């Protein structure tokens, strides 16, 4: 008689909801963030920022401050360590804004001019506020105007221009033409956790405990700046309370390392909320012109998208707002261009969906206007112009399921019941309308390393230099490892945020989870194969290391994007001009969803940000001083719970065949197209187009009053 043992098939957890593995630590306060980790003999630094928008430092009165209680040092351009800025890092040349205290020039208000170090943060702040800096002030320029003739081509991480076909000829031959200008304001990241870093030297090795979006990246920048061997620098960033693109290398880390070097003791520098508005980057305002031409059937013959953004006088950063037009719709003639204006303002930076967020507002509003002129449903117009390949690159798509997003979204939103005529729905003093828009964001991958260890007690330890900035990446990687090892997630311990774990992709560009998961899965799968051969586990465990550098480099050159269809219903108060978003629905095609629980949170969070972009957020500069009005969370309006309507996010099947797990990115696609959907809904409610964000009550009042039945 033969006995057969049947192995129960392993049921993976990828694709099923799982609570955050670090959730208990966070809600109980056990999770320590960069600014609250204790150090023995800790000193505190306080940055001093310039009060003029352009000029030179004539002198700094340091002696009275050095005599104040607890003050240990005042670092400035005359005594600070010299930095090496002649290198090209991960994201290009270093920004002089964070290569601090190297000269006496002041290019904008809020420029770091000194660091006061004291025994306590209170002493450091008091002394910093007492520090007197004398300037030779010069005229400054913050005039951001499209009429200026001193703009330059916007060469950033994408080409400044793309050009195909005879644009003017195609526009002239078009049955329907849209020519409109759209503007978006300066916007700030406004994450919960402020920027904080503690630097210390330990036996010739530099350690920085920081809040950042990529520990290995920060190591490289600090090593270059201070001419150190990268192997002698360690950066730890275990928990991060939001980043959205701003938490790379900034002035506070560099200043902390300088002070720790001078004092030979740990030094912590934490930015205030007001300092963050000047030192951590922001999204540049944009002025965008979109021209569209379509034939009688609504098919695009011409697409032109030009965008102007600003940058500082010391470093170029381009807001690549024409990116959506380069991937969303094809046309016989297709032109895009970025221009840049250098002003006496801080350097902008990456901010959630850089380029796509402001660019989709302009493009998707223009598409809606074209649909109105052509007498077509806005969804139908978009579907008629779905490209078969990348409109600019000519490359095939790995997958593109935007049409499925629109079909599912229209069904769930009740789009078929919509009266296309604007201004016909009313409830008392409220005009009602609905709108839609499309969105996309690139789904790239970067090389990463990971180790997975089989421990003698039956658990497994994952180590990777990833950064969980609130996305749930730690949990996603736990699930990926568990499935590759065919064990329950409870047997996995995932450690992240330490440069000692090796090179890893930054948490940015919606590339983090895809890149890290690839490395973790590779190491875990190899470890499972070794264990399947009957390997004994010694007390120190069995460790397998992966490196995806070669695999990522071998990826076929294709267009990789996540997509989304956004739907909004708004109510506009004709008495006050208030716009309320009543409900939002987003349907996304974003690859394999590893953890639906945190994925939905990411998408909903992006959509809420898009609503805020449409209705609330706007940083305004004072022409006389060059500074911001209300640079804090009182003056800069982000949404509260009372501002958030019913927001639903879901997805369609969209396995990416080019990825080992099928993953794309979801961190940024949620915001893309949201502002346009809201703006298009406001038009549907009032019959008036709003091409300038935010759609404030004062901007709405006159428009709503002009509607005949209002």
How far apart, in whole angstroms, are the C-alpha atoms of residue 426 and residue 429? 7
So what's the pLDDT on residue 658? 85
Structure tokens at 194: 């402020």
- pLDDT per residue as tens digits for the range 155-203: 988 999 999 999 999 999 999 999 999 999 999 999 999 999 999 999 8
Q: 596, 16 in Cβ contact below 8 A? A: yes
Per-residue pLDDT at 156: 86
Rounded to 5 degrees, φ, ψ at 123 are -65, -40
Biggest CA-to-CA distance, the chain: 99
- Spell out, as residue ranges, where the chain has pLDDT lower than 50: 1-6, 710
Looking at residue 9, its pLDDT comes to 61
How many CB atoms lie under 10 A from the CB of residue 693? 28
Let me know if 668 is a catalytic residue. Answer: yes
pLDDT value for 457: 96
The whole-number pLDDT of residue 534 equals: 87
Buried b (16+ CB within 10 A) or exposed e, 268-290: bbbbbebbbbbbbbbbbbbbbbb
Residue reference for tokens 């951001």: 144
b/e per residue, 531-547, with b = 16+ CB within 10 A? beeeeeeeeeebebbbb
Architecture of 446-553 per CATH?
Answer: 2-Layer Sandwich (3.30)
- Tell me which residue of 639, 595, 681 sits closest to 18, measured CA to CA: 595
CA distance 609 to 604: 9
Which strands, in side-by-side order, build the sheet including 492-495? 492-495, 460-463, 449-454, 542-547
CA 439 – CA 363 distance, rounded (Å): 10
The model's pLDDT over 495-519, given as tens digits with 9 standing for 90+, comes to: 999 999 999 999 999 999 999 999 9
* pLDDT value of position 7: 54
- Whole-number Cα distances in Å, 139 to 56, 402, 646: 11, 50, 49
> Is 152-186+283-443+558-705 assigned to CATH 3.30.365.10?
yes
Would the CATH topology of 34-139+192-242+247-279 be identical to that of 446-553? Answer: no
Which of 286, 290, 284 is closest to 363 using CA atoms? 290
* Domain ranges across the chain: 34-139+192-242+247-279, 152-186+283-443+558-705, 446-553
Mean model confidence pLDDT for the chain? 96
34-139+192-242+247-279 CATH fold: Aldehyde Oxidoreductase; domain 3 (3.90.1170)
**pTM (two decimals):** 0.96
Using CA atoms, how far apart are residues 564 and 603, in angstroms rounded to an integer? 10
Q: Say which of 221, 356, 618, 668 is annotated catalytic.
A: 668
SS3 243: coil
Minimal CA–CA distance to 649: which of 562, 558, 523?
562
Cis peptide bond upstream of 694, omega within 30: yes
């Amino acid at each position: 008689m033969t006995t057969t043992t049947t192995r129960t098939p392993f049921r993976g957890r990828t694709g099923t909801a799982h609570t955050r593995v670090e959730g208990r630590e966070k809600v109980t306060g056990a999770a320590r963030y960069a600014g609250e980790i204790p150090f023995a003999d800790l000193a505190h630094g306080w940055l001093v920022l310039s009060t003029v928008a352009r000029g030179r430092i004539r002198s700094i009165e340091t002696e009275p401050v050095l005599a104040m209680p607890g003050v240990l040092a005042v670092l400035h351009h005359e005594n600070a360590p010299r930095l090496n800025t002649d290198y090209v890092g991960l994201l290009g040349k270093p920004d002089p804004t964070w290569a601090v205290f190297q000269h006496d020039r002041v290019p904008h208000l809020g420029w770091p001019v000194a660091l006061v170090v004291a025994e306590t943060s209170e002493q450091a702040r008091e002394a910093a506020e007492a520090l007197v800096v004398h300037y030779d002030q010069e005229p400054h320029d913050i005039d951001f105007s499209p009429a200026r003739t001193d703009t330059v081509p916007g060469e950033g991480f994408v080409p400044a221009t793309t050009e195909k076909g005879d644009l003017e000829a195609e526009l002239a031959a078009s049955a329907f033409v849209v020519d409109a200008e759209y503007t978006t304001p300066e916007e700030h990241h406004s994450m919960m956790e402020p920027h904080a870093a503690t630097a210390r030297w330990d036996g010739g090795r530099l350690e920085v405990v920081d809040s950042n979006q990529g520990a290995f990246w920060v190591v490289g920048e600090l090593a270059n700046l201070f001419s150190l061997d990268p192997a002698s620098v360690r950066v730890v960033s275990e928990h991060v309370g939001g980043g959205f693109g701003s938490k790379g290398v900034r002035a506070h880390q560099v200043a902390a390392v300088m002070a720790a070097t001078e004092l030979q003791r740990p030094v912590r520098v934490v930015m205030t909320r007001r300092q963050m508005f000047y030192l951590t980057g922001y999204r540049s305002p944009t002025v965008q012109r979109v021209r569209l031409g379509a034939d009688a059937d609504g098919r695009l013959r011409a697409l032109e998208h030009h965008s102007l953004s600003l940058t500082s006088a010391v470093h170029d950063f381009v807001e690549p707002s024409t990116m959506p037009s380069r991937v969303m719709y094809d046309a016989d003639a297709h032109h895009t261009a970025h221009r840049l204006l250098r002003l006496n303002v801080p350097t902008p930076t990456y901010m959630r969906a850089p380029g796509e967020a402001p660019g989709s507002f302009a493009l998707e509003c223009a598409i809606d206007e074209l649909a109105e002129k052509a007498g077509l449903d806005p969804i139908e117009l978009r579907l008629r112009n779905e490209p078969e390949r990348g409109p600019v690159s000519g490359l095939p798509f790995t997958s593109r399921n935007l049409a499925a997003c629109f079909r599912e979204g229209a069904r769930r939103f009740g789009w078929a019941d919509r009266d296309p005529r604007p201004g016909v729905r009313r409830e008392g003093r409220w005009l009602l309308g609905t709108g839609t828009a499309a969105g996309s964001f690139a789904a790239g991958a970067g090389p990463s390393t990971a180790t997975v260890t089989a421990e003698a007690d039956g658990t497994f330890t994952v180590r990777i230099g990833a950064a969980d900035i609130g996305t749930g990446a730690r949990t996603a990687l736990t699930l990926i490892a568990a499935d590759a090892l065919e064990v329950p997630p409870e047997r996995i311990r995932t450690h992240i945020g330490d440069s000692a774990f090796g090179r890893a992709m930054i948490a940015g560009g919606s590339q983090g989870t895809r890149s890290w998961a690839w490395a973790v899965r590779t190491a875990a799968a190899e470890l499972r194969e070794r264990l399947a051969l009957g390997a004994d586990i010694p007390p120190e465990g069995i460790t397998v290391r992966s490196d995806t550098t070669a695999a990522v480099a071998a990826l076929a050159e294709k267009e990789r994007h996540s997509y989304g269809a956004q739907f909004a219903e708004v109510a506009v108060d004709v008495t006050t001009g208030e716009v309320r978003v009543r409900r939002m629905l987003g349907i996304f095609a974003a690859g394999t969803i590893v953890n639906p629980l945190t994925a939905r949170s990411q998408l909903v969070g992006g959509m809420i940000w898009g609503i805020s972009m449409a209705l609330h957020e706007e940083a305004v500069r004072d022409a006389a001083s060059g500074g911001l009005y209300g640079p804090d969370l009182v003056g800069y309006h982000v949404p509260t719970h009372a501002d958030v309507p019913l927001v639903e996010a879901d997805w369609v099947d969209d396995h990416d065949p080019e990825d080992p797990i099928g993953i794309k990115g979801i961190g940024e696609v949620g915001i893309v197209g949201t502002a346009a959907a809201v703006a298009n809904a406001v038009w549907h409610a009032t019959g008036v187009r709003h091409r300038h964000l935010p759609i404030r009550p004062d901007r709405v009042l006159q428009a709503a009053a002009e509607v005949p039945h209002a």
